[in-house]
Structure 1
Amino acid sequence: MPRHHSRTPTFPLYHSTRKKPRRWPLVLRFIKGAIHMDIAVPVVLHALWSALIAYIDRVRDEHIGLPGSIIPSLSIVVGLMLVFRNQTSYDRFWQGNQHMTTIETSIRNLTRSFLTCSHVNGQHPSVEERADTEQTVRILLALIYAAKNHLRAEWNTTPFVLLPNTAEQERRRRESTSIHKPEYEDLLPSQMRGFEDHGLGLLLQLSLRVEAYIKRGHDRGWFHPPQASQLTVQLNQLVSSYGSMETIHLTPLPVAYLIHMRQVLALFGGVLPFALVEEMGWWTILMTSLVMFTLYGIDAIGAQLEDPFGYDKADIKVDAIVEDLRVETGVLLSEWRRGSEMFSK
């Protein structure tokens, strides 16, 4: 009987940590998750250059090779630059993952506190107060969607177009700033207007509503002052991590460094055949291709990790993290509505 490969369920965190048995060893993978297509052009160009050098060396009476001693000097420089490149890129990837986890943890903590403490001992909250709590928890979940879309420049509102008629311009502005994101539109208050076209991020706008809820909870006697202060600290950490992720997204490596590194790589690949051709002949083509495949591959991996919030295979699994958090929050809300014992008063 044929053997079926199935994913191993990992509840909770089903979306972000499912594991599937590998059909092929990683060493044989050349398409899915690999960077071969990104570096194919420069590697092929260096192979053609090596072929030209090997041909010229073969048809000439004298070798055109250079002393092999020049390669170690160049390779040290190339190695140092690539190490710096990948260390910096992986640090951005790791920090981005850490900040995403901080946002997720802050939302979990705030959700737990809002659902458990939104009442006064001996008194049941009114229908309006329960609706207020549920809406705020939904807004908390919308925060991580807003962060994800902001980092990917997938705006929630459509910028309005300036029109000569002031009244018409204002009408179009009101219409164009309505938030329309089907994946989490149901989490937002009805008829909520966004101000992204004015320069205000949706996450910061939503955080104001969460802050207002904390104040209302304090005024109602739900949260005592130290607890309200701690809830505000959690919200501040969430916004701070959002700002740090924004910094990672908006601060690429200096272009001067990237230009110089690519030029050094090209120079190394151009000189390498001259150092190999006298001893290796036509094998110079293969050896140069393998070396440049390795070096350009390391550079391409660094480029993928530099901005880790996109859709590349190597990027942070932002969509999976968000969906797992939505499942968690949905279960908590469902149990809270039916008065589960986990929220025992």
Structure 2
Amino acid sequence: MIVRPRLHWFRMLLAWKGSVLPELLPRLFLIFCISVVAVASHDRVLKVTVDLSPTPFSLVGIALAVFLGFRNNASYDRYWEARKLWGQLLNESRSLTRQALTLPRDAVSVDETRLFVRILGAFPHALRHQLRQTDPRNDLATRLPSPLLERVMAARYRPATIMLWLGEWVQLRTREGALDAWAALAFDRNLNGLSDVVGGCERIASTPLPFAYSVMIHRTVYFFCAALPFGLVDSIGNFTPVFSVFVAYTFMALEAIASQIEEPFGTEDNDLALDAMSAFIEDATRDLLGEPALATSAPQPDPFTFS
């Protein structure tokens, strides 16, 4: 995720990091070459004339803009829902930490409470690795006791296994008399909230936008951009490459941005910064315990990029 101060309007024009322009340059160069061919053929250099009326391009361009807008809205909706789910995860984690610190009676030792919060802090890391399909052992090994670590690593759905342990902790404290029925119910509500977060993230990760829909828009964008120079050359002549590349950049960039944020749990520049969010949630629970924040596991590539 790119997070940086608001830029001056001129510096915004020259912004490079975080934009999709670097990956579009080869495609824009191809459109430029096609535009040069269109201008050359129109001037009879190649002894070939391919002149198209701009009217069909106006109609197709309007329809294409509507479809691209719809796809961008659908992709951003997935991105924003994912962000809200991780915001809910922060709220539920803070509530569970507060309950672990205030609801139990004196029968619960400080070490047991700290263990609960420590394992709760490992939950967002386990969820992040599940969503990105990466190995969580290194992150979890420093946060979970060895028996629980092996139990979690042996499970297919590791965040759910951590939730199960948290529920078992509440059940054990209830049997010991440290928690009454109302306190156990309060814990259960927030644990259900964690389950809702996991289910919502899994729904987004396992249900991409329909492939046929994405292919249709992709083909239409590139066919439109490749044919556009032949529709413009008769009216704007040698300026055709400039306007063709600019229009191509607009449509291709919209499609590329939608493609990036469609999968919000990835590691591209414009995806959610799950590493930073996981660390922030864990530090928020540790702060309620009065413990210092943990150092980040790896330096960021630059001060404006969060993975």
Shift, 1:19, TM fit? 5.9
Q: How does 1:1-345 map to 2 (within 5 A)?
A: 22=7, 25-30=11-16, 32-59=17-44, 64-119=50-105, 124-125=106-107, 129-156=109-136, 180-181=137-138, 183-191=139-147, 192-194=149-151, 200-334=156-290
Shift, 1:77, TM fit? 2.1
- Alpha-carbon distance between aligned partners in 1 of 2:69 and 2:7, rounded to the nearest angstrom: 29
Shift, 1:194, TM fit? 3.8
**Shift in alpha-carbon separation, 1:334–1:17, aligned structure 2, 3 A:** farther
Residue identity over aligned pairs, in percent, reads 25
Q: Any conservation in 2 of the 1:118–1:133 contact (CA below 8 Å)?
A: no
What CA deviation, in whole Å up to 9, does each residue of 1:32-51 have, x standing for no partner?
Answer: 11101222222111111111
- Alpha-carbon distance between aligned partners in 2 of 1:272 and 1:235, rounded to the nearest angstrom: 55
Shift, 1:311, TM fit? 2.4
Compare the two structures and name the one with the higher helix fraction: 2
**Shift in alpha-carbon separation, 1:334–1:92, aligned structure 2, 3 A:** same
Local SS of the residue matching 1:25: helix
What CA deviation, in whole Å up to 9, does each residue of 1:281-312 have, x standing for no partner?
Answer: 12111110000011000111101111112222
Q: Any conservation in 2 of the 1:64–1:274 contact (CA below 8 Å)?
A: yes
Query: Match for residue 176 of structure 1?
Result: none
TM-score, normalised via structure 1 length: 0.77
- Alpha-carbon distance between aligned partners in 2 of 1:102 and 1:27, rounded to the nearest angstrom: 35
Local SS of the residue matching 2:107: coil
**Shift in alpha-carbon separation, 1:195–1:125, aligned structure 2, 3 A:** closer
Code of the aligned partner of 1:329: T
Q: Any conservation in 1 of the 2:122–2:282 contact (CA below 8 Å)?
A: no
**Shift in alpha-carbon separation, 1:49–1:260, aligned structure 2, 3 A:** same
TM-score, normalised via structure 2 length: 0.86
In structure 1, stretches of 5+ residues that fail to align are 1-15, 157-179, 336-345
- Alpha-carbon distance between aligned partners in 1 of 2:241 and 2:6, rounded to the nearest angstrom: 37
Greater CA drift, 87-96 or 232-241: 232-241
Code of the aligned partner of 1:277: V
**Shift in alpha-carbon separation, 1:89–1:332, aligned structure 2, 3 A:** same
- Alpha-carbon distance between aligned partners in 2 of 1:289 and 1:206, rounded to the nearest angstrom: 52
Superposed CA RMSD in Å reads 2.3
What CA deviation, in whole Å up to 9, does each residue of 1:310-340 have, x standing for no partner?
Answer: 22222222222222222222232246xxxxx
Counting matched residue pairs gives: 288
